[in-house]
Amino acid sequence: MKSWDKLPDFVRNDAVYPYYRKLRRKNFSLFWKRIFDIIVSFILLILLSPIFVFLALAIKVTSKGPVFFRQQRVTQYGKIFRIFKFRTMVVNAEAVGAQVTEKNDARITKVGKLIRKCRLDEIPQLLNILFGTMTFVGTRPEVPKYVERYTKEMRATLLLPAGVTSLASIKYKDEDDLLENSENIDEAYINVVLPGKMKYNLLSLRKSGFFRDIGVMFLTVFAVFKR
Protein backbone atom coordinates (compact mmCIF):
# COMPACT_ATOMS: atom_id res chain seq x y z
CA MET A 1 0.00 0.00 0.00
CA LYS A 2 1.23 3.51 -0.84
CA SER A 3 2.36 5.87 1.88
CA TRP A 4 -0.27 8.37 3.01
CA ASP A 5 1.36 11.40 1.35
CA LYS A 6 1.43 9.60 -2.01
CA LEU A 7 -2.29 8.82 -2.09
CA PRO A 8 -4.40 10.84 -4.54
CA ASP A 9 -5.98 13.96 -3.03
CA PHE A 10 -9.41 12.50 -3.78
CA VAL A 11 -8.77 9.65 -1.33
CA ARG A 12 -6.68 11.45 1.30
CA ASN A 13 -8.92 12.98 3.97
CA ASP A 14 -9.57 12.76 7.73
CA ALA A 15 -12.46 10.30 7.33
CA VAL A 16 -10.30 7.87 5.35
CA TYR A 17 -7.21 8.03 7.58
CA PRO A 18 -8.43 5.65 10.36
CA TYR A 19 -9.10 2.98 7.71
CA TYR A 20 -5.71 3.61 6.11
CA ARG A 21 -3.93 3.25 9.44
CA LYS A 22 -5.58 -0.12 10.09
CA LEU A 23 -4.83 -1.45 6.60
CA ARG A 24 -1.26 -0.16 6.66
CA ARG A 25 -0.58 -2.50 9.57
CA LYS A 26 -1.69 -5.42 7.38
CA ASN A 27 0.79 -4.97 4.52
CA PHE A 28 2.13 -8.51 4.96
CA SER A 29 -1.40 -9.96 4.85
CA LEU A 30 -2.22 -7.86 1.77
CA PHE A 31 0.91 -9.20 0.05
CA TRP A 32 -0.25 -12.79 0.55
CA LYS A 33 -3.75 -11.82 -0.52
CA ARG A 34 -2.26 -10.76 -3.87
CA ILE A 35 -0.29 -14.01 -4.19
CA PHE A 36 -3.50 -15.95 -3.48
CA ASP A 37 -5.33 -13.93 -6.16
CA ILE A 38 -2.69 -14.68 -8.80
CA ILE A 39 -2.50 -18.42 -8.11
CA VAL A 40 -6.22 -19.10 -7.69
CA SER A 41 -7.35 -16.93 -10.63
CA PHE A 42 -4.85 -18.67 -12.92
CA ILE A 43 -5.99 -22.14 -11.80
CA LEU A 44 -9.69 -21.23 -12.14
CA LEU A 45 -9.18 -19.82 -15.64
CA ILE A 46 -7.80 -23.21 -16.67
CA LEU A 47 -10.45 -25.27 -14.86
CA LEU A 48 -13.35 -23.13 -16.07
CA SER A 49 -12.13 -22.79 -19.66
CA PRO A 50 -14.77 -25.28 -21.00
CA ILE A 51 -17.57 -23.21 -19.39
CA PHE A 52 -15.86 -20.08 -20.66
CA VAL A 53 -15.97 -21.37 -24.25
CA PHE A 54 -19.54 -22.70 -23.95
CA LEU A 55 -20.91 -19.39 -22.65
CA ALA A 56 -19.02 -17.43 -25.30
CA LEU A 57 -20.60 -19.56 -28.04
CA ALA A 58 -24.07 -19.30 -26.46
CA ILE A 59 -23.85 -15.50 -26.34
CA LYS A 60 -22.53 -15.22 -29.88
CA VAL A 61 -25.13 -17.55 -31.39
CA THR A 62 -28.19 -16.11 -29.64
CA SER A 63 -27.59 -12.35 -29.93
CA LYS A 64 -25.76 -9.87 -32.10
CA GLY A 65 -22.69 -8.20 -30.66
CA PRO A 66 -19.45 -9.03 -28.85
CA VAL A 67 -19.05 -11.83 -26.32
CA PHE A 68 -17.64 -9.54 -23.65
CA PHE A 69 -19.06 -6.45 -22.05
CA ARG A 70 -16.33 -4.01 -21.07
CA GLN A 71 -17.08 -0.94 -19.02
CA GLN A 72 -15.05 1.70 -17.23
CA ARG A 73 -15.04 1.16 -13.47
CA VAL A 74 -13.03 2.57 -10.55
CA THR A 75 -10.57 0.54 -8.50
CA GLN A 76 -7.74 1.14 -6.00
CA TYR A 77 -6.69 4.79 -5.52
CA GLY A 78 -9.44 5.92 -7.87
CA LYS A 79 -7.82 4.41 -10.96
CA ILE A 80 -10.03 3.79 -13.97
CA PHE A 81 -9.95 0.30 -15.49
CA ARG A 82 -12.08 -1.74 -17.88
CA ILE A 83 -13.97 -4.61 -16.27
CA PHE A 84 -14.48 -7.90 -18.12
CA LYS A 85 -17.95 -9.48 -18.04
CA PHE A 86 -19.89 -11.78 -20.34
CA ARG A 87 -22.38 -9.66 -22.24
CA THR A 88 -25.90 -10.33 -20.96
CA MET A 89 -27.67 -7.32 -22.48
CA VAL A 90 -28.32 -5.97 -25.94
CA VAL A 91 -25.58 -3.97 -27.65
CA ASN A 92 -25.37 -0.33 -26.49
CA ALA A 93 -27.65 -1.05 -23.53
CA GLU A 94 -26.16 1.89 -21.61
CA ALA A 95 -27.31 4.28 -24.32
CA VAL A 96 -30.96 3.34 -23.78
CA GLY A 97 -31.13 3.07 -20.01
CA ALA A 98 -29.46 3.45 -16.61
CA GLN A 99 -26.05 2.05 -15.69
CA VAL A 100 -27.66 -0.25 -13.15
CA THR A 101 -30.25 -2.84 -14.09
CA GLU A 102 -33.71 -3.21 -12.66
CA LYS A 103 -35.92 -6.27 -12.25
CA ASN A 104 -37.19 -7.60 -15.59
CA ASP A 105 -34.96 -5.14 -17.46
CA ALA A 106 -35.95 -5.36 -21.13
CA ARG A 107 -32.34 -4.90 -22.20
CA ILE A 108 -31.31 -8.32 -20.84
CA THR A 109 -31.16 -11.10 -23.46
CA LYS A 110 -32.78 -14.52 -22.93
CA VAL A 111 -29.43 -16.23 -22.45
CA GLY A 112 -28.30 -13.28 -20.37
CA LYS A 113 -31.07 -13.84 -17.83
CA LEU A 114 -29.78 -17.33 -17.07
CA ILE A 115 -26.16 -16.23 -17.02
CA ARG A 116 -26.91 -13.37 -14.61
CA LYS A 117 -29.04 -15.56 -12.35
CA CYS A 118 -26.10 -17.89 -11.81
CA ARG A 119 -23.63 -14.98 -11.77
CA LEU A 120 -21.69 -16.64 -14.57
CA ASP A 121 -21.26 -13.24 -16.22
CA GLU A 122 -18.61 -12.56 -13.56
CA ILE A 123 -16.25 -15.37 -14.67
CA PRO A 124 -14.19 -13.17 -17.04
CA GLN A 125 -13.27 -11.00 -14.06
CA LEU A 126 -10.72 -13.70 -13.27
CA LEU A 127 -8.69 -11.87 -15.94
CA ASN A 128 -9.04 -8.61 -14.01
CA ILE A 129 -7.85 -10.41 -10.87
CA LEU A 130 -4.88 -11.92 -12.66
CA PHE A 131 -3.92 -8.49 -14.06
CA GLY A 132 -4.19 -6.92 -10.59
CA THR A 133 -7.02 -4.46 -11.18
CA MET A 134 -9.37 -6.53 -9.01
CA THR A 135 -9.27 -9.01 -6.15
CA PHE A 136 -11.58 -11.87 -5.18
CA VAL A 137 -13.08 -10.15 -2.12
CA GLY A 138 -13.47 -6.39 -1.94
CA THR A 139 -15.84 -3.54 -2.66
CA ARG A 140 -17.57 -3.99 -6.00
CA PRO A 141 -16.25 -1.47 -8.54
CA GLU A 142 -18.61 1.33 -9.46
CA VAL A 143 -18.75 3.46 -12.60
CA PRO A 144 -17.04 6.88 -12.28
CA LYS A 145 -20.26 8.89 -12.02
CA TYR A 146 -21.30 6.94 -8.90
CA VAL A 147 -17.85 7.26 -7.32
CA GLU A 148 -18.10 11.04 -7.76
CA ARG A 149 -21.06 10.90 -5.35
CA TYR A 150 -19.11 9.05 -2.62
CA THR A 151 -18.94 10.69 0.78
CA LYS A 152 -15.46 11.28 2.22
CA GLU A 153 -15.72 8.10 4.31
CA MET A 154 -16.88 6.00 1.36
CA ARG A 155 -13.62 6.85 -0.41
CA ALA A 156 -11.84 4.58 2.08
CA THR A 157 -13.04 1.66 -0.04
CA LEU A 158 -10.63 2.89 -2.74
CA LEU A 159 -7.63 2.05 -0.56
CA LEU A 160 -7.80 -1.54 -1.84
CA PRO A 161 -8.49 -3.08 -5.26
CA ALA A 162 -12.13 -3.56 -6.22
CA GLY A 163 -13.54 -7.03 -5.63
CA VAL A 164 -15.60 -9.62 -7.48
CA THR A 165 -17.66 -10.29 -4.37
CA SER A 166 -18.19 -8.88 -0.91
CA LEU A 167 -20.50 -9.08 2.07
CA ALA A 168 -22.40 -6.15 0.57
CA SER A 169 -22.84 -8.05 -2.71
CA ILE A 170 -24.36 -10.96 -0.81
CA LYS A 171 -26.66 -8.81 1.30
CA TYR A 172 -27.78 -6.85 -1.77
CA LYS A 173 -27.89 -9.72 -4.26
CA ASP A 174 -31.50 -8.76 -5.05
CA GLU A 175 -30.91 -5.02 -5.25
CA ASP A 176 -32.98 -4.85 -8.45
CA ASP A 177 -36.06 -5.40 -6.24
CA LEU A 178 -35.21 -2.17 -4.39
CA LEU A 179 -34.95 -0.28 -7.66
CA GLU A 180 -38.17 -1.63 -9.11
CA ASN A 181 -40.66 1.09 -10.04
CA SER A 182 -38.17 3.89 -9.31
CA GLU A 183 -38.77 6.97 -11.43
CA ASN A 184 -35.03 7.64 -11.63
CA ILE A 185 -33.03 4.44 -11.23
CA ASP A 186 -29.64 6.17 -11.04
CA GLU A 187 -30.74 8.48 -8.23
CA ALA A 188 -32.50 5.64 -6.40
CA TYR A 189 -29.30 3.60 -6.54
CA ILE A 190 -27.14 6.48 -5.27
CA ASN A 191 -29.51 7.55 -2.48
CA VAL A 192 -30.96 4.20 -1.34
CA VAL A 193 -28.85 1.21 -2.37
CA LEU A 194 -25.31 2.62 -2.36
CA PRO A 195 -25.35 3.93 1.26
CA GLY A 196 -26.60 0.56 2.49
CA LYS A 197 -23.95 -1.36 0.60
CA MET A 198 -21.25 0.99 1.82
CA LYS A 199 -22.08 0.26 5.46
CA TYR A 200 -21.09 -3.36 4.83
CA ASN A 201 -18.07 -2.36 2.71
CA LEU A 202 -16.69 -0.07 5.41
CA LEU A 203 -17.33 -2.70 8.08
CA SER A 204 -15.38 -5.20 5.98
CA LEU A 205 -12.46 -2.76 5.75
CA ARG A 206 -12.36 -2.42 9.53
CA LYS A 207 -12.41 -6.20 10.01
CA SER A 208 -10.45 -7.24 6.90
CA GLY A 209 -8.47 -10.46 7.02
CA PHE A 210 -7.51 -13.43 4.85
CA PHE A 211 -9.75 -15.99 6.55
CA ARG A 212 -12.66 -13.54 6.61
CA ASP A 213 -12.24 -13.22 2.83
CA ILE A 214 -12.31 -17.00 2.43
CA GLY A 215 -15.54 -17.06 4.42
CA VAL A 216 -17.09 -14.44 2.13
CA MET A 217 -16.12 -16.51 -0.91
CA PHE A 218 -17.90 -19.56 0.50
CA LEU A 219 -20.94 -17.48 1.42
CA THR A 220 -21.04 -16.18 -2.15
CA VAL A 221 -21.06 -19.69 -3.60
CA PHE A 222 -23.83 -20.67 -1.16
CA ALA A 223 -25.87 -17.56 -2.09
CA VAL A 224 -25.58 -18.32 -5.81
CA PHE A 225 -26.74 -21.92 -5.39
CA LYS A 226 -29.54 -20.86 -3.03
CA ARG A 227 -30.73 -18.35 -5.59
- Range name among 44-58, 111-125, 167-181, 206-220 with the lowest pLDDT average: 167-181
- pLDDT tens across 24-73, in order? 999 899 999 999 999 999 999 999 999 999 999 999 998 888 999 999 99
Closest CA to 60 of 84, 83, 82, 91: 91
Q: What local confidence, expressed as pLDDT, does residue 104 receive?
A: 63
Of 59 and 223, more confident: 59
d(CA 220, CA 34): 20
Residues 149-199: tens digit of each pLDDT: 999 999 999 999 999 999 999 998 878 777 777 778 888 899 989 999 999
DSSP string, 44-95: HHHHTHHHHHHHHHHHHHHSSS-SEEEEEEE-GGG-EEEEEEE--B-TTGGG
Question: How far is the C-alpha of 111 from the C-alpha of 87, rounded, in Å?
Answer: 10
Q: Is the pLDDT of residue 89 over 70?
A: yes
